[in-house]
Structure 1
Amino acid sequence: LYVLNLGFQTAGCSLIGQQIGKGNISEAKDYLRVTTCLAVTFILLQNSVFYVFRWTILGWFTSHEDILQMTTSVAWMAALGAIPDQYHGYIQGPLRATEQQKHFV
């Protein structure tokens, strides 16, 4: 669930950092908006797919009916709980680009 967010982190850091380096702050803000919208969209999409297909996904790891019942009943917690971590994974890139991450850690 985290690989796409790490890609957005790298893209955000690269694109925003390049624009800041060029002194083009308005373009950097545009890149920030676009990468944030894309990252949030993919985060919500990933977690929705995980939740909708939880029986299938968790069935890859076990065929025990009791375990499947227990794990699928709490899958919504995993889907919701991953959202802050995934967003944090993304936002590190733009923060690094602005050299402000040390203030947010």
Structure 2
Amino acid sequence: MGQNRKIYTAEFKSKVAMEAIRGDETINSIAKKYEIHPKQISIWKTELIEGAKDIFDRKRGKKPASEEPDREELLKTIGQLNVESDFLKNKSGLLR
């Protein structure tokens, strides 16, 4: 039968990867301590280093452009809501 794969949390992976980056211990000693293959620690270390670049690529407090709502679409939605609101007010007799 095959072995069940262990699933590690992101917190655990980052902790182990940070230990590897610090360099106070060798990757092999970290691997023995946590009972993980050294190659896996190297992979997590690389992922952490490569992912760290994204933090500095973005401007502080600003979402990436893909997450910002399109101004034109927002204006269109506002106009549509105003028309619907006026229609409903006319139907209910609130506007005269």
- When the two structures are superposed, what TM-score results if normalisation uses the length of structure 2? 0.28
- Higher Cα radius of gyration: 2
Structure having the larger proportion of residues in helix: 1
